[in-house]
Structure 1
Amino acid sequence: MRGEASRVADRESRNSFANKLRESGSNAWEIGNELFTITYVFDHNPRIQRALTDPGRPTKDKVALLNELIGNQAMPLTMDILTDLVGRSWSRARDIDNAIEDFAVDAMMYQADCDGKTLEVAIQLAQLQSALLNLPVVRADLSDDQGPLNVRYELLHALIDSANFDRITVRLAEHCTRNPRNRRYLESVQWLINKFSRHMGESMVTVTTASPLSEEQIKKLNQIYAKKTGHPVHIHSVVDPTVIGGMRIQVGDEVTDNTVVAQLETLQRKVKTSVGD
């Protein structure tokens, strides 16, 4: 959990650069990629984190170090963002990496806006999440940053290549694979879905059923969850015959599982408990 100083620094910096990132157009893709790479490098070099966030070190020295490390290798706006971040106060050294990652995702969202693909990317992230729900071994392997990166990439692409995802979805999924940042893979994907939902001003409601939802069901769910969340929602319907019947509904981190499979599993646990007694 970030301290108050880090939350303020992250929020104020991102707010101050929001318009510039939005107006960067197609350059947002490259800026986002650069910031993801820098997040990875800083995450794996705690000495750099400490040097760039040391409250006793003059800002000009930290900016000089930043230029020495990155210099003209990055786009001007990337350097402007990093320069702003090292001039702020941080509760913990590693919190600056959280802010850089937030900026990277912001850049990808603005690129999605520029491409007219924002909702499409959000839906694809929800599809990736749904595909992984019944693949615990794959999820664990994707989250294992101790294993070879090329093996994790091969596993990810074996899962998503046939889906023909947008380049932004693929890049976000690769980031979660390359740099889990102490998060489980599904947790990272849900974090991204939440960010896209806030960016669009609506919530993603993923509904898993054994057969396709009717238009009437989708309309009713829309009304229910729009009222519940207080803002527009998008119903992402997932068909999974293995749930047999009922619905599994996920809104953010909240999951309501009323599928037949879930009910059978609950009953089975109760039977085991009573037998054990």
Structure 2
Amino acid sequence: MTSDFRGASADAVATLIGELETLVSGSPDVATQVSGDLFSVATSLRGEGALRRFATDGSVAAEAKTGVVGEVFGGKVSEQALGLLRAAVGRRWRAPRDLADALEHLSVVALVRAAVGEAERLADELFAFSQVVKEQPSLRDALSDPARSHADKARLVDDLLAAKALPSTVRLVKQSLAGTYRTVSVALAEYQKVVAAVQNEGVATVRAARELSADERARLADALSRQYGRPVHLNLVVDPAVIGGIRVEIGDDVIDGTVSSRLDDARRRLAG
């Protein structure tokens, strides 16, 4: 879960995740509130460079930093979120930007915890929406259009997902609009990684010419889980171009058993 952080920042995130999970355990409402608050604080820190640098300055006493963030954010966020923020500024950070990134990361973890017993569905819905964004240029443009307000984009997300997706899914899709990442698709991909990490799962993107049956999915997931030593969540992409067979991408590994790949190999051998 801390693979994108290094050194002191990775240690800080690991500790804060433990504190967060203790804080929101068994309380989806608290988890949802804390998530929103932490994301709001992360957004504020990204916009206030002086405050961000002060909050991560290792030469400043922890008491001074916790006092300042208490004055700035006290009464604006929940006591639980403020407690986590104070704990965060009391830690050491490798780079100033890591604090805001960590708070956003924690906000995603909190929303996963809010989706009690529905983490697999959450992962599936995030992936499905990211595929829709990739496949529909008009939607992608609407969500990235700088001329449209954030509120307008959020209403569009509600129109598309409200009553169809989990509340955690809707909230994460709205968070992806904030511009933290280069594109909405990149943000959703990163959020999917966090969901999988919270569940201690790997993520495999499977390309096949047709939908796989539930039994085929189960057998593939079981085989990959045995190979990689932990549960693996499957993201299926139906791609007629593969003709037959499947292509599996998991981490840096690629297992290509598609007919199209074998045909390409045959063409290369004939051309050579």
Post-superposition CA distance 1:191-243 (Å, at most 9, x none): 22222112223334343433222345324312331122211223344445576
Residues 152 and 11 from structure 1, CA distance in 2 versus in 1: closer, same or farther, beyond 3 angstroms? Answer: same
Shift of 1:256: 5.6
Moved more, 164-173 or 8-17: 8-17
| Aligned residue runs from structure 1 range 90-129, under 5 A | 90-113=93-116, 116-129=117-130
Mapped to 2, the partners of 1:50 and 1:216 lie a distance apart of 52
Residue 194 of structure 2 aligns to a residue whose secondary structure is: helix
Post-superposition CA distance 1:224-269 (Å, at most 9, x none): 31122211223344445576554343435656676678899x89xx
Mapped to 1, the partners of 2:163 and 2:259 lie a distance apart of 28
Instruction: Name 2:161's counterpart in structure 1.
Output: 161
Residue 73 of structure 1 aligns to a residue whose secondary structure is: coil
Contact 1:59 1:87 (C-alpha < 8 Å) held by counterparts: yes
Tell whether 2:209 aligns with 1:210.
Answer: yes
Contact 2:20 2:106 (C-alpha < 8 Å) held by counterparts: no
Contact 1:190 1:253 (C-alpha < 8 Å) held by counterparts: no
Aligned length: 264
Code of the residue aligned with 2:119 in structure 1: it is T
Instruction: Name 1:176's counterpart in structure 2.
Output: 176
Tell whether 2:86 aligns with 1:83.
Answer: yes
Contact 1:202 1:234 (C-alpha < 8 Å) held by counterparts: yes
Residues 125 and 250 from structure 1, CA distance in 2 versus in 1: closer, same or farther, beyond 3 angstroms? Answer: farther
Code of the residue aligned with 2:192 in structure 1: it is I
TM-score by length of 2: 0.80
Instruction: Name 1:186's counterpart in structure 2.
Output: 185
Residue 75 of structure 2 aligns to a residue whose secondary structure is: helix
Provide structure 1 residue ranges, at least 5 long, that are not aligned to the other structure.
Answer: none
Tell whether 2:131 aligns with 1:130.
Answer: yes
Contact 2:42 2:100 (C-alpha < 8 Å) held by counterparts: yes
Mapped to 2, the partners of 1:142 and 1:129 lie a distance apart of 12
Moved more, 220-229 or 232-241: 232-241
RMSD after superposition: 3.3
Code of the residue aligned with 2:250 in structure 1: it is V
Instruction: Name 2:227's counterpart in structure 1.
Output: 228
| Aligned residue runs from structure 1 range 27-38, under 5 A | 27-38=30-41
Residues 162 and 53 from structure 1, CA distance in 2 versus in 1: closer, same or farther, beyond 3 angstroms? Answer: closer
Mapped to 2, the partners of 1:128 and 1:256 lie a distance apart of 25
Residues 170 and 83 from structure 1, CA distance in 2 versus in 1: closer, same or farther, beyond 3 angstroms? Answer: same
Contact 1:32 1:103 (C-alpha < 8 Å) held by counterparts: yes
Code of the residue aligned with 1:170 in structure 2: it is V
Residues 111 and 2 from structure 1, CA distance in 2 versus in 1: closer, same or farther, beyond 3 angstroms? Answer: closer
| Aligned residue runs from structure 1 range 249-264, under 5 A | 249-252=248-251
Code of the residue aligned with 2:191 in structure 1: it is L
Tell whether 2:159 aligns with 1:149.
Answer: no
Contact 1:125 1:189 (C-alpha < 8 Å) held by counterparts: yes
Contact 2:21 2:110 (C-alpha < 8 Å) held by counterparts: no
Moved more, 30-39 or 188-197: 188-197
TM-score by length of 1: 0.79
Shift of 1:29: 0.5
Code of the residue aligned with 2:56 in structure 1: it is T
Mapped to 2, the partners of 1:162 and 1:79 lie a distance apart of 29
